A and B are shown apart, each in its own frame.
Chain A
Amino acid sequence: MIALLPERMAGPSQRVLETGPLRPALVVLGLACLASAVRTAIGVPSVTRVARWVDRRLGLADRLGTALESSNEGSLMERALLEDAAIRSRAIDVAGLVPFRGVRWPAALLAVASLSLALATTWTGARIVDDRLAVTDDSFSPASVAASLTRLSELVQELADDERAPEGFQPIGRALADLAERATSGAIEPASVGAELQELLGQLARAAADSDPILAERLADLLAPSTTGTSITAEEAPFRFDAASPPVSQQPTQAPAVGEEQGQAASGFDPNEIFRTLGEVVTELEQRARQTSEEPSPQVAEAEAPQGAIGTSTYYTDRDEAREAELAARREALRQRGGAGSEVAGAATESTDEAGAMAGKGHQPLDVGAAGAEVGALEHAREEIRLDLAERPEGSRTALLPEPVARLEAAAQAITALPRPVPAGAEAVTLRDGYAFLHRDLVESYFLPDGRGGREGKTDGNGFR
């Protein structure tokens, strides 16, 4: 049985338990558990036995025990007995009378066995190892990983030096530097380096979500291999970050426990993948650093952003179309400026094509304003993208902003302050989903001023077609 233990415990998940020095403790633990189970199963008294016990303890002259065997449909005496037993049993605290408690000696044995296990683990240094956490790619040597980490920490520190950078960049940069030092000195195993790195990259992506959605998107793409190449919205990004980086462990240097297997599988934790991602992130940040150094941030104020400079007549009959149009415009603007990420550019082209395909149905692709040439990719992501709807009957306009979800409420209040109906020439800053969810009536009247919109069809529960 002892010999079988490691094989059984390895199982299909390929976990390997190094049980050599732990076998005696495991045997004791198993026997203790078995003894506890058997003893407890035997020791649990039946209802009849409990009733007899109570009868004896309280001097009930076998009333309860006999009543349990009597039928309510029986003779007069049986019914009388049941009534009598019921009345008497109301005042009985069976739990207080029946001295059945958990079996103590097996519990003590279990405790000793657990202690033995703990001590053996401590003294022998035995540990549970998941072979999936092993670094199998030879290119990720400890030295190369440490070098990449050092470079990443420098890049993040540079980003943090920017006055517009969020406060979270500073501690992340320091944490990365610390991790690089530990990786260089060999004080931490590669698998743990990967786990910590994934956590820090997730933090970095979350920190960048407010101020630099493009970077946040990129990080999210890199951290979530399964969704790499697909475009995501800024609102979706934080959720992807959550999925990409597992919750912070209390002891990050420890390897994941057995019970965390599923969670790690869901998050796709793989040191090899993380180290590959590390290289991509370093490359990404170096590119951004080069762009920043070549063309300084124009610092275009929101007030100076092109007002109504973009767009031709179109309107959207549902929020998905509005989202797609906004996304396509943003990608196109980014592509024209030579922004980072060919995938994003590709996605923008695809979106533009899709929007163009819709022109034949009364829709026209969006045009990106002239201001787009003046702002960098980073800044462009922050600014408004206004969709000019001047040719609509009301002449009203809308603007779509990649605002973080946290600011939806304030923006929505501003939108609500618009007079109803929306006057011609008015502009409204939309926040896409948040806009739609929080002020459906306004969205409906704006995008569908005649109550029907540009298409025929059924409306969904939110008033959209």
Chain B
Amino acid sequence: MNEIGSSTNSGSERRDGTAPIGSARAEVDARLAGLGRAREAVASIVVGQEGVIDEVFTALLAGGHVLIESAPGLGKTLLVRTLGAVCGLEFSRIQFTPDLMPADITGTVALSHDEQGNVSTRFQPGPVFAQMVLTDEVNRATPKTQSALLEAMQERTVTVAGRRYELPEPFFVLATQNPIEMEGTYVLPEAQVDRFLLKVVLPFPSQAVLESIIDATTGARTHVPERVLTPAAIQELQALTLQVPISGHLTSAVARFVRSSQPTTEVASAKVQRYVRFGVSPRGAQALVLAAKARALLSGRYAVAEQDLLVVALPALRHRFQLNFEGQADGVDAEAFVLELLREALSGSA
């Protein structure tokens, strides 16, 4: 362990003489400045959704994907388009329908004729070959198509006709689903939902926000998003996110929390054993910490704090924690339950 202040004792240079003291902080701050501007640019267009914007940026920095759940017309597409424009990412949109086939997403091998009349095969990339992919109503496609997308999300590669194609970096998928209209949909199984880093719920706008939206979108004046970041800058920020340190006691608290959320473990409380169908998985713990790191960076801090874990807990865990029938019947609030367990774990580490 290092002594606090050992790096900034008196001299103006580091011990190895490679960089002046304070350079690391300045370097990080410079990179974060661009991130802050990008966030402001998105927020200037997507009015009243600052929380959602932060969560989407969190997932982007963490290199994860987002499942957005909201009623139609709340600005999901606008959010994703604006984000893509501000971040300088290549954008594509896939409207999932029941008859959508995997090849419609990943691409297909097509026959092509050259000028001499020779026939050859050529891979025609699907819409998934973009840096930012919006998959609207992901629960409307068949499981086969869904799994093709989720495989691409997980592996970041697409295999067509026995040949493997890498997806561009950064690769960021925002899938939406309508929580109301469930008829004719294919609910994503838990194993597949687990692959989304965050599940973001778009709240219905308040009166004031709604008025702002109406004013901003029904006038003659249109807002064109300004490009602030580049794909390379985003990749640097993603690398920086992975470097954000987290205290050992927080890591221990997360592990303790995950174990306590599983009804089958010996540390689970009676309430967990009674109401929880399945708790947070190890992948959920990874998502929680990774999202907390991104959140810390987004907040301009250099280390994960307890508050970061609490803030990202719901988007990172709400789709990874499910109550059983008794819990639902008794009206247990799953999200409140998750936060309660996490707070208990964090207080135990203090």
Contacts and interface: CB of A to CB of B under 8 A. Distances in A.
Nearest to B32: A80
Interface residues of A, number: 33
A67 B2 contact: yes
> What range describes how many residues of B lie at the interface?
35 or more
A69 B245 contact: yes
Contacts of A69: 1, 245, 247-248
Given A61-B307, A63-B302, A76 B250 contact: no
A85 B22 CA distance: 11
Contact of B7 (A47, A52, A72, A76): A72
Nearest to B309: A62
A48 B252 CA distance: 14
Contacts of B27: 76, 80
B4 A77 contact: no
A366 interface: no
B220 to A, nearest CB: 45
B243 A68 contact: no
Contacts of A48: 1, 249
A48 B28 CA distance: 25
A161 B116 CA distance: 149
Nearest to A83: B25
Contacts of B249: 48, 52, 65
A409 to B, nearest CB: 52
Contacts of A364: none
A87 B5 CA distance: 7
A80 B350 contact: no
Given A82-B4, A83-B8, A83-B21, A63 B301 contact: yes
Contacts of A64: 4
A331 B21 CA distance: 81
B303 A76 contact: no
B244 interface: yes
A24 B51 CA distance: 68
Contacts of B14: 72
Contacts of B301: 61, 63
B306 interface: yes
A70 B3 CA distance: 9
Contact of B5 (A56, A63, A74, A89): A89
A381 to B, nearest CB: 69
Most buried by B among A64, A75, A82: A82
Contacts of A86: 4-8
Nearest to B301: A61
B103 interface: no
Given A62-B247, A66-B246, A76-B28, A82 B2 contact: yes
Interface in A36-88: 47-48, 51-52, 56, 61-72, 74-87
Contacts of A87: 8
Contacts of A83: 7-8, 21-22, 24-25
Interface in B16-32: 21-22, 24-25, 27-29
B100 interface: no
A72 B296 CA distance: 20
Nearest to A67: B4
A381 B296 CA distance: 93
Nearest to A85: B4
A155 B250 CA distance: 87
B298 to A, nearest CB: 13
B247 A75 contact: no
Interface string B220-242: 00000000000000000000100
Contact of B1 (A52, A68, A89): A68
B288 to A, nearest CB: 15
B252 to A, nearest CB: 12
A85 B302 CA distance: 10
Nearest to A65: B247
B305 A61 contact: yes
A240 to B, nearest CB: 56
Most buried by B among A63, A70, A83, A89: A83
A90 B301 CA distance: 18
A34 to B, nearest CB: 29
Contacts of A68: 1-2, 4
Most buried by A among B5, B6, B29, B303: B303
A72 B28 contact: no
A110 to B, nearest CB: 31
Contacts of B43: none
B247 A71 contact: no
B8 to A, nearest CB: 4
Of all A-B residue pairs in the complex, the 5 with the closest CB atoms, nearest first, are A61-B305, A79-B24, A81-B302, A86-B5, A66-B303
11 contacts: A62-B250, A63-B303, A69-B248, A75-B243, A76-B240, A77-B245, A77-B303, A78-B243, A80-B27, A80-B29, A83-B24
